[in-house]
Amino acid sequence: MAFSDSFFASKFGLRTKDLESYLSDALSQGGDYADIYFEYLATSMIAMDESIVKSATQGVSLGVGVRVISGERTGYAYSDDLSPEKIRKAAKVAACIAAGPAKVEKAPLSEGQKRNLYPVLTAPNETGFMERVDLVKRAEKAARDYDPRIFQVQSTYADSLRHVLVANSDGVLNYDRQPMARLSVSALARQNGGAPQHGHAGGGGRVELEFFLNEKTPEHFAREAARQAVVQLDAVEAPAGESVVVLGPGWPGVLLHEAVGHGLEADFNRKGTSAFTGRIGQQVASPLCTVIDDGTIASRRGSLNVDDEGNPTQRNVLIEKGILRGYLQDQLSSRITRATATGNGRRESYEHIPMPRMTNTFMLAGESDPEEIIRSVPKGLYCANFGGGQVDITSGNFVFSASESYLIENGKLTRPVRNATLIGNGPEAMKYVSMVGNDLKLDEGIGVCGKEGQSVPVGVGIPTVKIDRMTVGGTA
């Protein structure tokens, strides 16, 4: 696709010479670098609750953000009006960060290499509404049909289609069309007037609507949510204190996201505030652990053709056989530390300044049979599903909450246990990984990562993993 056929050129008449002129305005007070980011976002959401399609919302937002970098300083301004006067005004406000003569040397804009990791012909929000409503109805029915003890079901379908265009003073010009869809189901189960128990499942990605008809159906997610809720009905109190913990494959990869991922973002490391600062080349995990962040996996929720600074995403090795190999970079940190861009500069919207962020973060499969891993544990906890997690990157302490877990007694999964938070320390916890399964699984496409008030979609994945020591926050 030529630039003239791209979304912003065809819909708003944007020309490359306009972009070059805005970038000149941005650098009119000096500065080392400027970029401009256009975003058009159309979203829709349909929610069914109590067997009624209770809400449906759709809308559009549009805007442009201009950034100027001068040394370690950043100026940023944005506008929700794409008129040239408003864009120039934003460029001039952002330019105030720099003080000096205009920077005149600017590379001429040239388009980056094109690829398409998500060749979605018809984005989900370009399909009929009734087809999308049908997904939430099917999910609701399947969850209720799963077990008579299910008494509340909420199913939500949400999609978006984002068009972005980034141009910068290094000459990068890139644009992308980014579809996304997600179906999620939450179910509540109750027996004999006892406490309601919650189950949740969902997934999607940068896919067409057919994904939910052929690959991961509403029934798939609904049964999973209902199953989790029903399992919890018999849950006993979780143990308190240190324990052997086995993580099941897939979504428990949240562990990597919290324990190591955030701590390897280049902004914290450039500033020396991460528990991983200065540890490149050191052993930070057991030799069984190789951790990757890969923004190039086709159709995945965390994948991008180009990051929000116009750099192509790539596959980055973070930890190789336990040795820390690299950080996740954005434009600012890679400029300051003279590191190579890794394609991890992301932002929530045109109103936000890019930061180094994860894409899809996972651990490579090992050699152990998952059954054998469980058999090796005389007493411990098996975590099949997680809720969210959080990390304090400076101390390295992180938590995640286990939403479906089981006691391991004499090498067998016995009773389900109630929700509990697990806590560990990033550079330490991974040293206790003693077995890694051969069953790497990526999550189903539901992750949202929050950092400094900005949310972006991400993916995680992990094989079955045994950790010899973690603290479990139960009451028993």
Partner 1 sequence: MIDLARDVVRQALAAGATDAECTISEGNEFSAQVRLGEVETLKEAGSRGAGLRILLGQHTGSSYTSDLTPEGISQMVAGAMQLAAVTTEDPFAGLADESEYGSIPGDLRLYNADVERLETGVKIEMAKRAENAALTFDPRITNSEGASFDSHLGRRVFANSRGFAGEYRSSHCSISAVPVAKQGEAMERDYWFHSARGFADLEKPEDVGRIAAERTLRRLGAVKVATQRVPVIFEPRTARSILSNIFDAVEGRSIYRQSSFLAGKLGEQVAAANVTIVDDGTIPGLFGTSPFDDEGIPTRRTTVIEKGLLRNYLLNIYSARKLGMKTTGNASRGITGNAGVGPGNFYLEAGSRSARELIQSVANGFYVTELIGSGVNIATGDYSQGAAGLWIENGELAFAVSEVTIASTLQQMLMGMEAASDLEFRGSTASPTVLIQEMTVGGR
Nearer to partner 1 among residue 375 and residue 379 (C-beta): 379
Residue 294 identity (one-letter amino acid): D
Bridge partner residues of 400 (DSSP): 389, 422
Nearer to partner 1 among residue 83 and residue 122 (C-beta): 83
Q: What angle do CA 167, 170, 172 make, to 5 degrees?
A: 40
Nearer to partner 1 among residue 173 and residue 222 (C-beta): 222
Q: State in angstroms the smallest separation of the CB of 14 from partner 1.
A: 16
Token pair for 374: 């469980």
267 vs 194, 331, 356, CA distance in Å? 48, 10, 7
Q: State in angstroms the smallest separation of the CB of 397 from partner 1.
A: 5
Nearer to partner 1 among residue 107 and residue 240 (C-beta): 240
177-188: burial string, b at 16+ Cβ within 10 Å, e else: bbbbbbbbbbbb
Nearer to partner 1 among residue 45 and residue 117 (C-beta): 45
Nearer to partner 1 among residue 6 and residue 425 (C-beta): 425
For tokens 């920077």, the residue is 103
Query: In sequence order, which residues have a C-beta less than 8 Å from that of residue 383 and are 6 or more positions away?
Result: 245, 246, 247, 248, 252, 402, 404, 405, 422
Nearer to partner 1 among residue 213 and residue 233 (C-beta): 233
Which of 375, 388, 366 lies closest to 433, judged by CA?
Answer: 366
Q: State in angstroms the smallest separation of the CB of 242 from partner 1.
A: 6
Nearer to partner 1 among residue 16 and residue 152 (C-beta): 152
Nearer to partner 1 among residue 161 and residue 420 (C-beta): 420
Q: State in angstroms the smallest separation of the CB of 128 from partner 1.
A: 9
Nearer to partner 1 among residue 107 and residue 448 (C-beta): 448
Q: State in angstroms the smallest separation of the CB of 258 from partner 1.
A: 10
Q: State in angstroms the smallest separation of the CB of 105 from partner 1.
A: 24
Token pair for 71: 């040394």
Residue 312 identity (one-letter amino acid): P
Token pair for 399: 């938590």
- CA 388/CA 169 separation, integer angstroms: 39
Token pair for 209: 């609507």
Residue 303 identity (one-letter amino acid): S
Q: State in angstroms the smallest separation of the CB of 133 from partner 1.
A: 5
Task: Outline where 204-316 has alpha helix (H).
Answer: 218-232, 254-256, 266-271
Concatenated DSSP letters for 49-104?
ETTEEEEEEEEEEEEEEEEEEETTEEEEEEES--SHHHHHHHHHHHHTT--SSPP-
Q: State in angstroms the smallest separation of the CB of 32 from partner 1.
A: 15
Q: State in angstroms the smallest separation of the CB of 115 from partner 1.
A: 30
- CA 173/CA 380 separation, integer angstroms: 53
- CA 307/CA 312 separation, integer angstroms: 6
Q: State in angstroms the smallest separation of the CB of 417 from partner 1.
A: 10
Nearer to partner 1 among residue 166 and residue 472 (C-beta): 472
Strand stretches in 211-322, DSSP E: 240-247, 291-294, 315-320
Residue 18 class from Cβ within 10 Å (0-12 exposed, 13-18 middle, 19+ buried)? middle
- CA 436/CA 247 separation, integer angstroms: 10
Q: State in angstroms the smallest separation of the CB of 198 from partner 1.
A: 5
Q: State in angstroms the smallest separation of the CB of 64 from partner 1.
A: 10
Nearer to partner 1 among residue 273 and residue 455 (C-beta): 273
Token pair for 45: 């959401």
Residue 417 class from Cβ within 10 Å (0-12 exposed, 13-18 middle, 19+ buried)? buried
Q: Determine which helix (DSSP H) or strand (DSSP E) holds 251, and give its type and residue range.
A: none
